[in-house]
Structure 1
Amino acid sequence: MDTKKVASELTRLLGGKDNIISATHCATRLRIVLQDDDQPNKQEIEELDGVKGVFSASGQFQVIFGTGLVNKVYAEFAAETGLGTKDTDGGEKQVDHAEAAKKKMNPLARIARTLSNIFVPIIPAIVASGLLMGLLGMMTAFEWVASDSPWILFLDMFSSAAFIILPILIGFSAAKEFGANPYLGAVLGGIMTHPVLLNPWTLTDAVPESVSFLGMNVELLGYQGTVIPILLVVYIMSKIEKGLRKIIPNAIDLLVVPFVTVILTAFIAMLFIGPLGTWVGNGLTWSLDFIYSTAGIFAGLIFGGLYSTIVITGVHHSFHAIEAALIADLGVNFLLPIWAMANVAQGGAGLAVFFLTKNPKVKEIAIPASFSAFLGITEPIIFGVNLRFMRPFIGAAIGGALGGAYVVFTNVIVNAYGLTGIPMIAIAAPFGTANIINYLIGMLIAAAGAFVATWILGIKEDTTKK
């Protein structure tokens, strides 16, 4: 295909260069922030060579090209539009794409995107720890080595480290997102997990010491493995640091700002925000656990059926924070298996579309996008196929609800977050063979239920389109 021609046509159909504020791309999609979101001609863009679907989400107009091709199109698109050299006022300064996208979002979507930006970079550490816990559990359960073996000692250290220093990891990532010094964020996380404080991660039954400070009784309790306290603390830290930089002369900035920021925020953290954050976090965990235990399969039906709709809004990015809190407080994540059912169901609905459609371009998209959903990546099948006809999206919701009800009924759990579909088997394995089997059965129910529901509902194609 002629990527230069596609980029030129895409620019025209988006409303011209003047309507384009900024653009970037991910593994499969071109993401564009526009002045006027009503100008793009979506139908004609979908007909461009190589385009597998278009949609608007997270303050961006997104065009799906697929892995590899999107890089080539973006290079031509950047050259065509002169990206990064103009702002909304027509000036010549660099445009921050992330900030431009955030300005186009509603407040709820901004919060979701912020939480996503904080927790997504931490996913590799959480997944690694989850898999290490699984290996440790198998070595212990099957008695591969003696209980006092150095293997057990070392794997216990390796698997728990990420959760013990979780506030440090979140502190660094959150400070970057809030526009503060990330190393100061890490320092605050270190203060909240200092060895002087009782570590609740390993000493759950111990009673912390208390000290009297400024007339207040302060418990020397650490925040290892917690989520909400460090988020609140770093947010306040960012406000203090930014405020100080406005009034402190540059000549003494390096000496004064870090010192005052750390000492003020640390006292606020230990005396007020830390205990408040713990109370909020425990309340959230208790509420979710209560709903999960009380509503049972009905919770699975509702969450599994609605999750893909939530994905469209972009709010699902905030769920990583909730899942991290569940793992920190309960040691398990019972939400991710439900989300996984919704994702797999989208793939099942996409396969049904492949057999139902007469459009060769849709067939070309449906198969790879469906298998992508089985691997946990659903945007191509949702926006490129199922939402296009709507009925398959409804069919996927039915399949997701059925699968979600089953995994809740059988208590499928995992010990990390960030993986769904087939890869999630790795973080379900630590809880035994029955957990894996029930997860696989849930996947089959979700995919088959979505396929059958979509087949019954059918699709309504526009026969006038090429």
Structure 2
Amino acid sequence: MQHKEIARELLPLIGGAENVISISHCTTRLRFNVRDETKIDIAAVEKMESVQGTFFRYGLFQIIFGAGVVNKIYKEMAHYSVPGPIGQEIQPESQSNINLLTKFAKTLSDIFVPIIPVIVASGLLMGLIGVLKEFSLGAYDGPVMKLLDIFSSAAFIILPVLLGFSAAKQFGANPFLGAVIGGILTHPDLLDPSMLGSQKPSSVDILGFQVPLIGYQGTVIPILLSVYIMSKLERILKRIVPRSLDLLVIPFITVMTAGFAALFIMGPLSLLIGHLVSGCLGFVYQYAGPAAGFLFGGLYSLLVFSGLHHSFYVIEASLLADPQYGVNFLLPIWSMANVAQGGAGLAVCLKTKNANLKKISIPASFTAFLGIVEPIMFGVNLKLLRPFIGASIGGALGGAYVVFMHVAANSYGLSGIPMISIILPLGTANLIHYLIGFAIAAISAFIATLCLGFKDEKE
């Protein structure tokens, strides 16, 4: 079906334009914020040829169309459905009942998802550099290699700036002021934390306290806390400052106050929190070993189902920024869980007699191998349940192996086959063990799903 026809057919099935509050999309899903969920004809939506699955999350009705398609359908839907009147605040009841943990995960997701393409691009560039160095395809100190190194590291250096902009939008503050706070945390006059082993930072005396001038390049927690405080301060100032003076007074007080708080309170506090989290995970990783990989790999798909998995971006970024670790040992485990969903989907494709399910499961399974797991997970495995259990078994076995062999990555945001680019720079052995774990996860999930069986859907 053409994208315009899909949009035209879909609109009445979700209750018409008058039922739509807002529309958004991610890599694979079209998301509707609606006034009345009972007006949605879910069965009819799922029967549409291009739809790979539907579900509710965060009070939003979400339809899986797949990567490369959903953005085109979104553009067409924007023409046919006009959100409610400007300024009309309508919150669906289901969204207001979300618990605090889920709200926290959703906020982190909304902050990180817009910048993931930047992180992915940097990770792929790091992989390219790793390949060139591994096979001696370019001069180590040559001009091309130096430029590629600049290109690949830029996003991580200015990560607080990117997060400051994105976080400020989510917290309802001025995003450009959020970016400025990120710029303060990464200012060139502050010592890069990666240099702490060889250089001693200078310090300033503030009210009798010696505060070291350390930068926060590549970190996450300092900017998130700082921008949150900034958003609260800006909101208070908007209430008390006369509108005629807000352009002058609010940015000045906000930047000055939030800047001091970022460097002298939030930054040091965040480093302590980050080291504590990294230390706890490192302890579990070191002493629980394969058992931890088995547990995390088996349960990760449940976290994807709940939406809590996006909160791990903060932890993964903290591991990369921590000088004690400097690598991401969690992402290979998550990747095994995603790959296992694809293996289970192929088993469904082999065993099902439902032509439509077979048609969906083939491309959705290979999409999971490329790191996009929602189509096969929500569209096939979770609906049939037992393939989802089979995938959890595969993820657990693959996760145990990659932890046992100490497989790690030098970035985050990628999984499956594309993750090879951020695995290879850490050595050929690292890549070989990752590929073995990949095979273990996919094959064991395939076999487990065939053994468990499932109740086939009727046409």
Partner of 2:418: 423
Aligned residue identity for 2:82: L
Aligned residue identity for 1:83: V
1:353 has 2:352 as partner: no
The equivalences for 1:3-18 within 5 A come to 10=10, 13-14=13-14
1:255 has 2:248 as partner: yes
Question: Which deviations, in whole Å up to 9, do the C-alpha atoms of 1:394-434 show, x marking residues without a partner?
Answer: 00000011111111111111111111111111111101111
Q: 2:333 aligns with which of 318, 335, 338?
A: 338
Distance 1:8 1:42 in 2: 16
Distance 2:160 2:14 in 1: 43
Partner of 1:32: 32
The equivalences for 1:237-248 within 5 A come to 237-248=230-241
1:180 has 2:179 as partner: no
Aligned residue identity for 2:442: A
Distance 1:131 1:9 in 2: 38
Q: Unmatched 5+ residue regions in structure 1?
A: 87-91
The equivalences for 1:27-66 within 5 A come to 27-37=27-37, 40-66=40-66
Distance 2:24 2:140 in 1: 52
Q: 2:186 aligns with which of 175, 193, 212?
A: 193
Q: 1:67, CA displacement in angstroms?
A: 5.3
Distance 1:266 1:388 in 2: 49
Distance 1:99 1:204 in 2: 52
Q: Unmatched 5+ residue regions in structure 2?
A: none
1:208 has 2:185 as partner: no
Distance 2:128 2:7 in 1: 48
Q: 1:379 aligns with which of 361, 374, 377?
A: 374
Distance 1:48 1:126 in 2: 34
Is the 8 Å Cα contact of residues 14 and 40 (structure 2) preserved in structure 1? Answer: yes
Partner of 1:83: 82
Question: Secondary structure in 1 aligned to 2:451?
Answer: helix
Aligned residue identity for 2:226: V
Is the 8 Å Cα contact of residues 166 and 224 (structure 1) preserved in structure 2? Answer: yes
Distance 1:381 1:147 in 2: 42
Distance 2:8 2:120 in 1: 41
Give percent identity, aligned residues only: 57
Partner of 1:218: 211
Q: 1:237, CA displacement in angstroms?
A: 0.9
Partner of 1:448: 443
Partner of 2:405: 410
Question: Secondary structure in 1 aligned to 2:200?
Answer: coil
Question: Secondary structure in 2 aligned to 1:250?
Answer: coil
Distance 2:362 2:306 in 1: 25
Partner of 2:260: 267
Question: Which deviations, in whole Å up to 9, do the C-alpha atoms of 1:321-344 show, x marking residues without a partner?
Answer: 211111111321111111111111
Aligned residue identity for 1:191: I
Is the 8 Å Cα contact of residues 168 and 175 (structure 2) preserved in structure 1? Answer: yes
Q: 1:79 to 1:226 in 2, by over 3 A?
A: closer
1:397 has 2:396 as partner: no
Aligned residue identity for 1:268: A
Tell me the TM-score normalized by structure 2. 0.89
Q: 1:135 to 1:117 in 2, by over 3 A?
A: same
Once the two structures are overlaid, the 10-residue window that deviates more, 270-279 or 303-312, is 270-279
Once the two structures are overlaid, the 10-residue window that deviates more, 45-54 or 154-163, is 154-163
Q: 1:96 to 1:4 in 2, by over 3 A?
A: farther
Once the two structures are overlaid, the 10-residue window that deviates more, 48-57 or 96-105, is 96-105
Partner of 2:383: 388
Q: 1:168, CA displacement in angstroms?
A: 2.3
1:93 has 2:86 as partner: yes
Question: Secondary structure in 1 aligned to 2:313?
Answer: helix
Q: 1:270, CA displacement in angstroms?
A: 2.6
Question: Secondary structure in 2 aligned to 1:354?
Answer: helix
The equivalences for 1:286-301 within 5 A come to 286-301=279-294
Q: 1:440 to 1:260 in 2, by over 3 A?
A: same
Across the aligned residues of Structure 1 and Structure 2, the Cα RMSD in angstroms comes to 3.1
Q: 1:140 to 1:351 in 2, by over 3 A?
A: closer
Distance 2:49 2:146 in 1: 57
Q: 1:413 to 1:99 in 2, by over 3 A?
A: farther
